[in-house]
Structure 1
Amino acid sequence: MKLKLYCILTLFLALNLNAQESKFDIEVNFPIAIGDNFLGDNYNGIIDLGINYRFLQKEVLNLGVSANFGFFKNTKSGASDLNQLFDVKIIPIQPRLFAEFNIPDLEKLHPQIGIGYSILIYNADWADNRDAELPADIDDSESGFNFNLGIAYDLSQKLFLQAQYDFVKIGVENGVPDISYNTNINILKFGIGYRL
């Protein structure tokens, strides 16, 4: 029994000592849609969850892949706003490639840049003032290019704070004006992460 406890303790300490070399981390962020666009004007960010995997780790540069999953909810309530027929939720899914920089003189700071693809899944449920003649709830999606900038600050070997900026350029459906208000999305994310 003592040998098992010793082995578990040794393994735990070894993982903690090598936390900076960890290939995986998870993050929880608070997303804020900003700018003059449909997301910033009509939706509140609720949560953004992410996972990062570094497949190449060098002294100055790490390369990896990541995926973020967010949740936004419309700011208008169907019961209080008669013009709002739907209770709309948007779930962004953002896979990307990223490069993370390790600055020798600033070991706790890790700037990051990434490119990828974003898929915005819309789930629109009819509000309480629904007319019985109207069709069923609407589910749809849009997608496009994603550019990401971020910086992380190490609180400890395992725990870090971070800030990120996402620019998303989505395509629009036929009938929707192809203007920046409908196609350019800007999201700030502030959160905390944990290296596994």
Structure 2
Amino acid sequence: MKRLLLTSFLVFTSIILHAQDQKWSVEANYPFTLDDGTFSNNDGAIDLGIKYRFFRTDLVRLGLDLNGGFVYDKAGNNNEDTFKSKTYLFQPKLFAEFSVPFAPKWHPMVGVGYSVVSNNFSGSISGTDFSDRSGADGGFNFDIGISYDISSRFFLQLKYDMILLQVKDEVVFDNERINIDFRENIDRLKIGVGFRF
């Protein structure tokens, strides 16, 4: 078993180190919310992604970007509030990554896609019970950013991520059903690291 694991590790490492055209990359980001809306009071957040580049010229690479994120939030103005929310994001996108001839380590990028935002609420806030509520919303997603190559494999990146979220829900407040239907812009800044292979 140890030989099989060692052999698998060596083959995988050899493929990564000898790849001529690095079509794949993985990344890990920490997102910051820039406005007072969804995700603004998060107590924990992470954003992970994988990219595949399927078209390349000297100046641009086109590809698919699959990002997933998690945000944990507990809010409340007093000790009686027990509200907690867990939010999961799934963000498939098409992206373009550009080469800058006079600055070969810098790579501007732009992406367009759709975000699915799934929420799971529990507890109460200001006397309103949110126990075991969940739902999913979605909306258009746009991002723009830049990466900097530390080496041929590792890079740092900074991205601005905008989600035009369409929120639809139904809540009960004082025994009255209230339909919720509104649009919300979520602006986030992501700082992260990545690895190409």
TM-score normalized by the length of structure 2: 0.79
CA deviation vs aligned residue, 1:56-97 (integer Å, no higher than 9, x gap): 12111000001111111114269x542x45310111111000
Aligned to 2:186: 185
Q: Matches of 1:135 and 1:55 in 2, distance apart?
A: 44
How high is the sequence identity, in percent, across the aligned residues? Answer: 35
Aligned pairs (5 A) from 1:119-134:
119-126=116-123
Give unmatched runs, 5+ long, in structure 2.
1-8, 170-178
Give unmatched runs, 5+ long, in structure 1.
1-7
CA deviation vs aligned residue, 1:32-53 (integer Å, no higher than 9, x gap): 111232332x334521100000
The answer on 1:138 being equivalent to 2:133 is yes
> Is the Cα–Cα contact under 8 Å of residues 74 and 82 in structure 2 kept in the other structure?
no
With over 3 angstroms needed to count, the CA separation of the structure-2 counterparts of 1:30 and 1:140, relative to structure 1, is same
* Structure 1 or 2: more strand by fraction: 2
With over 3 angstroms needed to count, the CA separation of the structure-2 counterparts of 1:10 and 1:89, relative to structure 1, is closer
* Structure 1 or 2: more helix by fraction: 1
Aligned to 2:148: 153
Q: Matches of 1:141 and 1:62 in 2, distance apart?
A: 32
With over 3 angstroms needed to count, the CA separation of the structure-2 counterparts of 1:172 and 1:161, relative to structure 1, is same
Aligned pairs (5 A) from 1:9-88:
15-16=16-17, 18=19, 21-40=21-40, 42-76=41-75, 81-82=79-80, 84-88=81-85
The answer on 1:176 being equivalent to 2:180 is yes
Aligned to 1:4: none
With over 3 angstroms needed to count, the CA separation of the structure-2 counterparts of 1:10 and 1:126, relative to structure 1, is closer
> Is the Cα–Cα contact under 8 Å of residues 168 and 186 in structure 1 kept in the other structure?
yes
**Alpha carbon RMSD of aligned pairs, Å?**
3.0
> Is the Cα–Cα contact under 8 Å of residues 60 and 101 in structure 1 kept in the other structure?
yes
Aligned to 1:5: none
TM-score normalized by the length of structure 1: 0.80
Displacement after TM superposition at 1:125 (Å): 2.6
